[in-house]
Structure 1
Amino acid sequence: MTATESMPRSSFSRLPAAIGLQFLVPSSLVLVPVLVFFSAWAIAAGIGWLVHSQGGIDGGQPMYTGASQATLWCLVFMAAYAASHTFPFAMALSYSRRVFTLGTVLAFCIVSLLFGAAVAAAAAIEQATDGLGVDSYTFALPFLVDGPGGVFGAGLVSALLCLALMIAGFAIVILYRRFGLMKLWIGILGLVVILAGVAGLITVNEAWGDTWRWLTEQTVLTFSGYLAAASLVLTAVTYATIRKTTPA
């Protein structure tokens, strides 16, 4: 037996397989989100053409839609599905919780990067065609494409928002498995109370004007930084929770 053969195999050698575990069923993180992406865009474009054919919006203003959110919420659901279905499967295959968590987050990173690239490409198409010829925009929204980086900035912040939401969806199901429904709701209500307290402090100190001013001064790059930090925190919380979570 050689020295190499006698060395214990690192658990991280299974990381590529842990990533691939999330893509064993292509419809969950690939096919269904792609279908939702193009279906939502097509429906929004159809509504835009219909409005344009009827004379457009008063004053000739461009029409902006929120249909791009459909893919985000679809991916959040699929991320939650991954926590409820692939976690027990991974434990049955003897994946370590650390490798499973890291592999899942990296799989989410891949999906989020593809989503960001798709948003950037769709926004570029809408800009180049003046809103598909009818001044209707689903992805080239002003607060996304008018900032630093243009459509690339829009793609970046969309990718990081997608990643943060997917990890949040995954984390909520893991928290439910670890603590149960009642404690999960107590935690959610506690978070609501904290946010209400912050809003109360802002109101008491008459600081809403400064708050809105601060929000409007943010750019896609600064929001990207906040979303990246949120993703890291959520990943840490998820791993800390999953270490003591049973797959049953």
Structure 2
Amino acid sequence: MNRVLIVTRVQLVGWQNTVGWPWLLLAMVFAVNYAVFWTIGDTEGNYTTGALVSIYIVVFVTSINWITQLLPFSMALSVIRRTFFLASALLLVVQSVVFGILLFLCQLAEKATGGWGIHLQFFGLNFVDDLHPLLRIAFYTMPFVLLGFLGIFVAVFYKRFGLTGMWLLTTATLLVLAGLAVLLTWQELWPAIGRWLVDQPQVAWFVGWPTLFTALFGGAGYVTLRRVTP
């Protein structure tokens, strides 16, 4: 465990990119949205944007960077692959929880100020604003974890199989999805699937399914990482 913590500290050497850049970009996006909607002036209802997704995209990119840049450096320091993966997973989970709590606090501030004084709904989303606080924190947190492990898997797969492997993986994924869509359409199962999705409890949407896909990507990333060369 001590070795994992040491490697985690190595990964935090460039904390400005890992921690600072996502929030700097989010602040810039928020400033642009605020300026735009402040210029528009008062209208009925709230201004709702989807710009919050920007911070999730940055976390996805930085998780790829951990593999492409830090893995060779760590292996040069005689860090074994298992230790590096566990350190990356620990850092990702802790960072995601902290980011989720911060976004939740921003949503509370947004609600308390009446949408920052202009009815701007940047951090809040209508379908989660009235949930239990822990569920709201989970809603903000789990996409960070899921996209982080997805980024790790993509980067590891690329280092293991190269660009050709990435193209084959992308093509195979699209073919499987297309075939599944054709099958569901042929069997007229879309209405039943829609009802099943609507009947899913909130905990399943915000915690259960993201956790399942996170485990899949995390396991696939770990297995692939075992054969990656610097």
What range describes the TM-score normalised by the shorter chain of this pair? over 0.9
The 5 Å alignment of 1:236-247 reads 236-247=219-230
Q: Does 1:137 align with 2:121?
A: yes
- Among 147, 150, 173, the residue aligned to 1:168: 150
8 Å Cα contact 1:62/1:137 also seen in 2 = yes
- Relative to the length of structure 1, the TM-score reads 0.86
TM-aligned CA deviation for residue 220 of structure 1: 4.2
Following superposition of structure 1 onto structure 2, how do residues 84-99 of structure 1 map, counting pairs within 5 Å? 84-99=68-83
Separation in 1 of the partners of 2:28 and 2:8?
27
What whole-Å deviation, never above 9, does each CA across 1:207-231 have from its counterpart, x for those lacking one? 2223233333445421221111211
Highest CA radius of gyration, 1 or 2?
1
Number of equivalenced pairs:
229
Task: State whether residues 144 and 220 of structure 1, in contact with CA within 8 Å, keep that contact through their aligned partners in structure 2.
Answer: no
SS in 2 for 1:145: coil
**Identical residues among aligned pairs (%):** 26
Contact 1:126 1:132 in 2 (8 A): yes
Q: Once superposed, what is the RMSD of the aligned Cα atoms?
A: 1.6
User: In structure 2, how many angstroms separate the alpha carbons of the residues matched to 1:47 and 1:216?
Assistant: 35
**Which residue does the alignment assign to 2:170?**
188
1:91 offset after TM fit, Å? 0.3
Task: Give unpaired runs (5+ residues) of structure 1.
Answer: 1-11
Q: Distance in 1 between matches of 2:51 and 2:112?
A: 19
TM-score, normalised by the number of residues in structure 2: 0.93
Alignment partner, residue 216 of structure 1: 198
Cα distance in 2 between the residues matched to 1:81 and 1:71: 15
One-letter code aligned to 1:25 = G
Task: Tell me which residue corresponds to 1:68.
Answer: 52
1:1-248 to structure 2, matched below 5 A, reads 12-51=1-40, 53=41, 55-56=42-43, 60-146=44-130, 148-149=131-132, 151-223=133-205, 224-247=207-230
